[in-house]
Every structure is written in structure tokens, then in C-alpha cells.
Amino acid sequence: MYTDSFNTQLVRKNTGAIKYDRIKTDFGTENILPMWVADMDIPVPPFIMEAIQTRCQHPILGYTLIPERWYQSILNWLAQRYQWEVQKQEIGFLPGIVSGIALAIQCFSKPGDRILIQSPVYPPFRYLPKANGRELVENSLVYRNNQFEIDFEDFEEKAASGCRMFILCSPHNPGGRVWSKEALERMLAICAAHDICVVSDEIHADLTLPGHQHHPAAMVETSDCALITLMAPSKTFNIPGLNSSFYVIQNESVRTQFDRFLQNLSLNHGNLFAYEATVAAYEQGAVWLEELTRYLQTNIDYVVAFLKAHIPQITCSIPQASFLIWLDCRNLGMNQKELETFFIHEAGLGLNTGTSFGPEGYGFMRLNIGCPIETLQLAMSQLKSAIKQVKTDQ
């Protein structure tokens, strides 16, 4: 029904897209396929575009209340997708997940406090605590058999070192790991024992791939730790430009504190197009999303098979969620700068460098496969040719 649209080649240059219009600044050349920023080169679902266009038919775009349907669409989505029963008063609007993390840091910690993260991880997890004058504490994930695992002994030791907050990435970015219920229970229990506030970024949850199950942290909580869940339709339905996110806080005292904090900053409301898009996405998006995740799985399978057959020097984690693949390039024998130069100038590909996610990313690159299969085939062909040329030169 929708799959044909996923194969559509779209021109995004000169639309203000960071992924395309900033490549000269970030990569030093425009002669690359940009496969870095985590949005998809796949059209927004037609029902979302129709909802926005319908609203635009009214000639006034005035101050807007949060519609009841916005709340109800979220409540229904969480119940249907995760069997998570949430009340209206337990959710609220946020202008973005990164903004939500920054606001939680400011609300639930103070300058000098220690904040725990698991590295390698999405770069804002690293720079937001530092930018807000907090001390960063890192629990390094273990990369074993092409998959990330948690070093729980180190996690508990770091948690017990005076940390006031833990920022959880679930599912994990860049590894695409869907944490098990048992792993989540263990982390939350440790945090509760040390009175640590948990901020759970679950923006990739809806993009959990076939055969895997995302567990919202709030549903596996076995203790009364302070827990803020951050979610959004933005990655799922490719609408990050609308800045539409939300939080779920079921602990009343924690929620009251955060609600008041947002109100005092006048950040407890959004824009009407964010509301319209969210309602359309969650009321009409289940079938589209099912087709998308199947398509993304096909793209992932293609990359895994291609690397195995043609570029065995590069292996990868097989994502359990999202459209991002963590490439292990260490067998190429290049340092990180050489690796970046190779991908840009030899392969003609713009990827995220592994070390931007933390020092554990040395020798790795992150590839965005949220694109038409034709684009992915071209990217793999360019990479294969570049590897062949390197071997020839040697």
C-alpha cells in the first residue's frame, strides 16, 4: 500500500535540510551521498501531509490550545503498541527530545552534579550535561559479537559514586540495541537504590524491527525511582522538523516539579502543526509503520549480506530498532582521521564518525539506511570500489 513511496527518489537540496545543505560545511565537499543525520529520505505519510494541508485551508494560524485528540491519540498509541496504560495528566508537550533532556537536567539536577550515561551514545547525551555545568560519568558499553552489552558491575560502581541522574538511550543509538526487560529492571533498581533520577530517551521505540519488542522503562520499573520518559512521532514518521515530542511522568511529585518548571519557562505548549501531525500519525499510522519497518529490515539485510560477500573487512551490529547501522571498520587498519577521509574522499559517503559518540567509537562509523534501496545500493557499490582501490594501492 505504501511501500512504493519508500522507493521514491526525492530532491532535498536547497530545502534547508541539515543532511543535504550542510554537507559542504561538515564534510568539505558536496560530492558525497549524505547518509548521516538521523532523518529518512522517505516521504512523510500522506495522511500527515493531508492533515497539515487541511489545517492550512483556514486563513488564521492563531494561538492554539493543545487539542484533546492530541492527548487521546498518544494514550491510544501507547496502549495499543506497548499495552502501557497512561493517564492524560501524565503526559505533556515538549519541543524536542534533546530539549527535553536539557530541561530535565536543569530541573532535576544542579551545577556540579554527576550525570551517568552509557557510551558510545547519541552526542547530546555527552555535551548537554557538560554545557549545563554538570559532571559527566560514563559507563562504557561492551561491544561483543557485534552487539552492545552492559557492564553492570561498572554501572553499579558509577551509579554509587554520587550520580544524581542517569540518561538512558532505549533503544540504543548508535547500536540499535533493544534492551531486555531484565536489563532495564536491573538498571532501574540500581538507580532507585542510589536515589538517581532516570531520563529515558525512547524516541526510536516505534521503529523496533520485526522479531523484537521494546519495553518502555516505566512499564518494567520495580521501584519508585524518579523516571521521565521522552517519546515522539518525529523519527517514526519522519517529521523532526515539526519539533513534536512529549514526556510521560507517572510519579506525581516528579511530574508536578517538571510541569511547574516548564510553565515557569513558558515551554509547556507547542505549535498547531505539531499537534495536527501527531494526531494523524497516531490515529492513522499503524499500517504505514508496519510497512516501513519491513522495508527498513530489508535494507538492513541487504547491507549485512553485501558486507559479508564483498567487504568482509567491515562488519556491523545488526540493529534491533531504527534505521542506523554501526559499522566496525577496525580491520581496515586506519586511524579515525584516515577512516573519515577514506569514507568522504574515496567512497564518496557522508557518515557519522564513530568518535562523535564517545571514545569507544574509535574505528567505527554510523550509516543511515533510512532511504530508497537504490540509494543504498549505490552507497555500497561506492564503498566496495573504494575498498578495492585501497587494496590495489597497497
DSSP for 72-98? HHHHHHHHHHH-----GGGEEEES-HH
For the stretch 15-38, pLDDT in tens is 999 999 999 999 999 999 999 999
DSSP 355: G
For the stretch 107-124, pLDDT in tens is 999 999 999 999 999 999
Please, is 202 exposed, middle or buried when counting C-beta atoms within 10 Å of its C-beta (0-12, 13-18, 19+)? buried
For the stretch 327-385, pLDDT in tens is 999 999 999 999 999 999 999 999 999 999 999 999 999 999 999 999 999 999 999 99
Number of helices followed by number of strands (H, E) in the chain: 16, 15
Q: Name which of 25-39, 49-63, 210-224, 351-365 the model is least confident about.
A: 210-224
Rounded mean pLDDT, 126-130 = 98
pLDDT at residue 319 in the model: 98
Which domains, ranges and CATH numbers included, belong to the chain? 3-45+286-393 (3.90.1150.10), 62-284 (3.40.640.10)
Whether 220 shows a pLDDT value over 90: the answer reads no
Whole-number average pLDDT of the chain: 96
For the stretch 284-342, pLDDT in tens is 999 999 999 999 999 999 999 999 999 999 999 999 999 999 999 999 999 999 999 99
Confidence of residue 223 (pLDDT cuts 50, 70, 90): low
Beta strand residue intervals within 120-208, DSSP E = 135-140, 142-144, 147-149, 163-169, 197-201
Torsions phi, psi of 244, nearest 5?
Answer: -120, 105
Tell me the one-letter amino acid at 63.
Answer: Y
pLDDT at residue 389 in the model: 87
Share of the chain above pLDDT 90, in %: 96
Whether 221 shows a pLDDT value over 70: the answer reads no
Cα Rg of the chain (Å, integer): 21
For the stretch 274-295, pLDDT in tens is 999 999 999 999 999 999 999 9
Three-state SS at 227: strand
Confidence of residue 180 (pLDDT cuts 50, 70, 90): very high
